[in-house]
């Protein structure tokens, strides 16, 4: 190329550059307003209107833009005509991403935005920009967002959620103090009233996976209140959480609409601890919780990476008040309107057409809500060393492992310290069936008789260890239904010990001995053996063996206990071994309900004996006491032989090891 040609080429290039520069300097970007509106409308099917000016400062790869008075329409299905209106937008846009048809705004500042977000019941979301509002990739991606005096509304009719929020920037009191975004919100969450307020950093880092966003928030949903301070990383996806956490409410089961995990009904609670989140795991660690009058500490973790959320951890009661478990096992309502493992506003219903339940009895009757059991799998250990309870409940400690898998709830092991001994076993509730199929295998070991009934005066001086086994299966959605349908065996044995003589003389109606012991004080009598053996069939405990044998008397019993009707029908027959100068020989009948048992005597026999005494008294006053003298059979009842007989190979009872097991004889 000649020198002249090169000179002309350079001059032409310079002229072109000058023309481009002049165009850039004098170009009115508002000329692009209508083409931009047309392009967006064509792509989304929704009208974009730009009423104000457009300013652009070109650069690479980012260009600075400023647009004012902008509106963008909603799809036709939305309940509001506009998705947003903006007084002004300042920010940057990635030109390289725009060439690939992706909208990437690294920084955006919105002035007086009014945004309406809505989710359709069929899954469509109005913030998705494709024509059908279903493509998750068809949305503008924003890095850092600054808001100045904005209004944001959210509507999700399917989940009964509607929220209105006001956000504005609060500047620091000094030039060096950072600004912060302050927000307040009202509405409904899952059909429950919502009030929220708080503050955060001046910039919302919407797409930052590394920088934690500071947050201080108060939220009330119905009567559940939360206060949290700390940081949240990546607000749209919540990739990480580190919050100091304070929570209180009327019952833990009311958290179900908030966390989607069924928790049990409880009394009012207050808890504080540390909430952490990473990947698919949430961890609530080093927490303290007060539930009713109980206090516990522990750590809990929820893993959302499995088929169902998996809850695991430990719950250690420093103090457990048994009255606080009433709502959990169905003896009383928790006061909540949304119940968890148990609790319902509806009374328990009969589980068999031929079974009529006593709806006014004392057994727990509030149903378990198995509909929520498949919301979570769980493995949580619960223990308590200090238990507060009514004096009539001699429970000293608790250790259990609660597991839930595929709607099957198990407590295995379930160990209680009871009256100086232990009550241990396992309970399984299969919530895959409706009604629930329940199984209970419980072993009673070395329970002291005098501690078992601490409120009964006549047992205070009694000594002896009770051993036994419960092996039951049942169906029902509440404890009273399960007991009303139970089948299996119940066996209790006391092998040697001592028992209150006053109690025995009272049962045998030895009036003279009762009067004597009231004057001189109670004494102990050797207890040879006591056995209570019940077959359980459709909730009825039928006595197979009921005997109490001592040096002075043998008491045999028969009858049944009806768990459906909650009634007692037992007959006790005392057989004295000593001569009593003043005795009323009569069977003792125990009748009535669990809540109102009645003890009566055989009035016919008493009248006959009293009439004989009066007739003899007319002849000789001394002879009047002769009919009241109980000579007794004279030979000891061999209670030990009874147990040995129950274990003889030719005894049908030995075919069912739950009748009297070897361990119950120790």
Beta carbons within 10 angstroms of residue 659's beta carbon = 22
Share of the chain above pLDDT 90, in %: 40
Q: Are residues 428 and 555 both part of a single domain?
A: no
Query: How buried is residue 253: exposed, middle or buried, by Cβ count under 10 Å (0-12/13-18/19+)?
Result: buried
**Tokens standing for residue 368:** 């378990």
Q: CB of 576 within 8 A of CB of 559?
A: no
Question: Does 623 or 20 have the greater pLDDT score?
Answer: 20
- Please check the confidence at residue 419 and state whether its pLDDT lies above 70: yes
pLDDT of residue 79: 95
Domain boundary among 125, 159, 193: 159
Is residue 423 one of the residues assigned to a domain?
A: yes
Is residue 348 one of the residues assigned to a domain?
A: yes
Q: Are residues 366 and 461 both part of a single domain?
A: yes
**SS3 call for 252:** helix
Q: Which helix (H) or strand (E) holds 157?
A: none
Q: Are residues 624 and 644 both part of a single domain?
A: yes
Give the closest residue to 165 by CA, choosing from 198, 205, 208: 198
Spatial separation of the C-alpha atoms in residues 19 and 299, rounded to whole Å: 70
Q: Which helix (H) or strand (E) holds 578?
A: none
- Please check the confidence at residue 288 and state whether its pLDDT lies above 80: yes
Q: Are residues 471 and 549 both part of a single domain?
A: no
**Tokens standing for residue 121:** 């019941």
Q: Are residues 504 and 614 both part of a single domain?
A: yes
Spatial separation of the C-alpha atoms in residues 240 and 597, rounded to whole Å: 60
- Please check the confidence at residue 87 and state whether its pLDDT lies above 50: yes
- Please check the confidence at residue 329 and state whether its pLDDT lies above 80: no
Q: How many residues does the chain have?
A: 666
Q: What is the mean pLDDT of residues 419-434?
A: 92
pLDDT in tens, 574-618: 877 766 655 556 688 889 998 888 878 765 665 555 554 444 445
How much is the mean pLDDT over the chain?
Answer: 80
pLDDT in tens, 169-188: 887 666 666 778 899 999 99
pLDDT in tens, 436-461: 999 999 998 888 877 776 655 555 55
Question: Does 481 or 8 have the greater pLDDT score?
Answer: 481
pLDDT of residue 637: 37
Q: CB of 205 within 8 A of CB of 176?
A: no
- The one-character DSSP state at 323 is G
Q: Are residues 516 and 610 both part of a single domain?
A: yes
Is residue 635 one of the residues assigned to a domain?
A: yes
Question: Does 105 or 163 have the greater pLDDT score?
Answer: 163
Is residue 184 one of the residues assigned to a domain?
A: no
Beta carbons within 10 angstroms of residue 167's beta carbon = 21
Spatial separation of the C-alpha atoms in residues 492 and 660, rounded to whole Å: 8
pLDDT band at 95 (very low <50, low <70, confident <90, very high): confident
Q: Which pTM value belongs to this model?
A: 0.74
- Please check the confidence at residue 627 and state whether its pLDDT lies above 50: no
List Cβ neighbours of 455 (8 Å cut-off, separation of 6 or more): 391, 392
Question: Does 2 or 204 have the greater pLDDT score?
Answer: 204
Q: CB of 449 within 8 A of CB of 497?
A: yes
List Cβ neighbours of 180 (8 Å cut-off, separation of 6 or more): 169, 170, 172, 199, 200, 201, 202
Q: Are residues 562 and 637 both part of a single domain?
A: yes
Q: Which domain holds residue 327?
A: 307-485
pLDDT band at 413 (very low <50, low <70, confident <90, very high): very high
- Please check the confidence at residue 365 and state whether its pLDDT lies above 90: no
Is residue 430 one of the residues assigned to a domain?
A: yes
Q: Are residues 504 and 634 both part of a single domain?
A: yes
Is residue 129 one of the residues assigned to a domain?
A: yes
Q: CB of 401 within 8 A of CB of 413?
A: yes
Domain boundary among 143, 159, 175: 159
Q: Are residues 520 and 447 both part of a single domain?
A: no
CA atoms within 13 A on the CB side of 94: 15
pLDDT of residue 562: 95
Indicate the number of domains in the chain.
3
Is residue 300 one of the residues assigned to a domain?
A: no
Is residue 228 one of the residues assigned to a domain?
A: no
Phi, psi dihedral angles at 448 (to 5 degrees): -80, 130
Domain boundary among 485, 501, 527: 485
Q: Are residues 344 and 457 both part of a single domain?
A: yes
pLDDT of residue 120: 94
List Cβ neighbours of 226 (8 Å cut-off, separation of 6 or more): 217, 218, 219, 220, 245, 246, 247
Question: Does 560 or 239 have the greater pLDDT score?
Answer: 560
pLDDT in tens, 391-400: 666 788 899 9
pLDDT band at 572 (very low <50, low <70, confident <90, very high): confident
Q: Are residues 477 and 518 both part of a single domain?
A: no
Question: Does 237 or 9 have the greater pLDDT score?
Answer: 237
pLDDT in tens, 25-84: 556 788 888 988 998 899 899 999 999 999 988 888 888 999 999 999 999 999 999 999
pLDDT of residue 517: 61
pLDDT band at 659 (very low <50, low <70, confident <90, very high): very low
Q: Are residues 501 and 635 both part of a single domain?
A: yes
């Amino acid at each position: 190329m000649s020198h002249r040609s090169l000179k002309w080429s350079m001059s032409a290039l310079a002229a072109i550059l000058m023309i481009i520069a002049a165009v850039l300097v004098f170009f009115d970007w508002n000329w692009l307003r209508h083409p931009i509106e047309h392009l967006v409308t064509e792509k989304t099917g929704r009208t974009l209107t730009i009423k104000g000016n457009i300013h652009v400062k070109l650069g690479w790869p980012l260009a600075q833009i400023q647009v004012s008075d902008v509106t963008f329409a909603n799809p036709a299905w939305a309940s509001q005509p506009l998705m947003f209106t903006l007084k002004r937008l300042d920010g940057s846009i990635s030109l390289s991403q725009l060439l690939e048809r992706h909208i990437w705004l690294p920084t955006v500042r919105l002035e007086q935005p009014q945004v309406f977000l809505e989710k359709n019941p069929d899954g469509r979301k109005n913030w998705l920009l494709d024509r059908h509002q279903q493509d998750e990739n068809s949305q503008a991606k924003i890095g850092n967002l600054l808001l100045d005096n904005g209004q944001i509304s959210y509507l999700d009719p399917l989940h009964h959620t509607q929220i209105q929020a006001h956000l504005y920037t609060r500047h620091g009191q000094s030039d060096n103090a950072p600004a912060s975004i302050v927000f307040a919100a009202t509405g409904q969450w899952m059909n429950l009233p919502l009030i929220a307020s708080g503050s955060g950093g001046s910039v919302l880092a919407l797409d930052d996976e590394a920088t934690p966003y500071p947050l201080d928030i108060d939220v009330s949903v119905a009567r559940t209140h939360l206060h949290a301070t700390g940081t949240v990383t990546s607000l749209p996806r919540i990739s990480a959480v580190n919050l100091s956490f304070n929570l209180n409410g009327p019952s833990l089961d009311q958290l179900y609409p908030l966390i989607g995990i069924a928790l049990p009904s409880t009394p009012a609670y207050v808890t504080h601890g540390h909430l952490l989140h990473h990947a698919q795991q949430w961890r609530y660690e080093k927490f303290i919780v007060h539930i009713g009058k109980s206090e516990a500490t522990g750590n809990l973790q929820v893993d959302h990476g499995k088929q169902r959320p998996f809850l695991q951890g430990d719950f250690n009661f420093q103090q457990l008040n048994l009255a606080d478990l009433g709502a959990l096992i169905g003896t009383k309502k928790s006061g909540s309107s949304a119940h968890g493992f148990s609790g319902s506003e509806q009374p328990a219903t009969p589980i068999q057409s031929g079974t009529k339940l006593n709806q006014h009895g004392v057994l727990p009757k509030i149903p378990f809500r198995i509909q929520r059991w498949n919301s979570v799998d769980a493995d949580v250990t619960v223990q308590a060393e200090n238990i507060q309870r009514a004096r009539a409940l001699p429970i000293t400690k608790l250790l259990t492992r609660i597991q839930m898998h595929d709607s099957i709830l198990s407590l295995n092991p379930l160990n209680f310290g009871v009256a100086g001994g232990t009550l241990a076993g396992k309970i399984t509730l299969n919530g895959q069936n409706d009604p629930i199929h329940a199984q209970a295998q419980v072993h009673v070991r070395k329970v002291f008789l005098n501690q078992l009934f601490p409120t009964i005066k006549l047992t205070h001086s009694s000594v002896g260890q009770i051993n036994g086994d419960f092996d039951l299966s049942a169906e029902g959605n509440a404890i009273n239904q399960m007991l009303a349908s139970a089948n299996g065996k119940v066996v209790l044995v006391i092998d040697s010990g001592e028992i209150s003589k006053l109690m025995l003389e009272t049962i045998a109606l030895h009036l003279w001995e009762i009067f004597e012991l009231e004057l001189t004080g109670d004494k102990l009598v050797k207890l040879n053996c006591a056995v209570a053996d019940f077959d359980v069939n459709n909730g009825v405990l039928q006595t197979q063996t009921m005997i109490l044998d001592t040096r002075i008397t043998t008491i045999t019993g028969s009858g049944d206990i009806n768990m459906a009707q909650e009634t007692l029908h037992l007959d006790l027959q005392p057989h004295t071994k000593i001569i009593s100068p003043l005795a009323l020989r009569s069977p003792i009948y125990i009748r009535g309900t669990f809540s109102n048992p009645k003890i009566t005597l055989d009035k016919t026999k008493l009248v006959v004996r009293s009439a004989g005494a009066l007739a003899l008294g007319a002849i000789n006053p001394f002879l009047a006491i002769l009919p009241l003298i109980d000579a007794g059979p004279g030979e000891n009842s061999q209670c030990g032989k009874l147990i040995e007989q129950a274990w003889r190979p030719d005894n049908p009872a030995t075919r069912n090891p739950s009748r009297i097991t070897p361990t119950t004889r120790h």
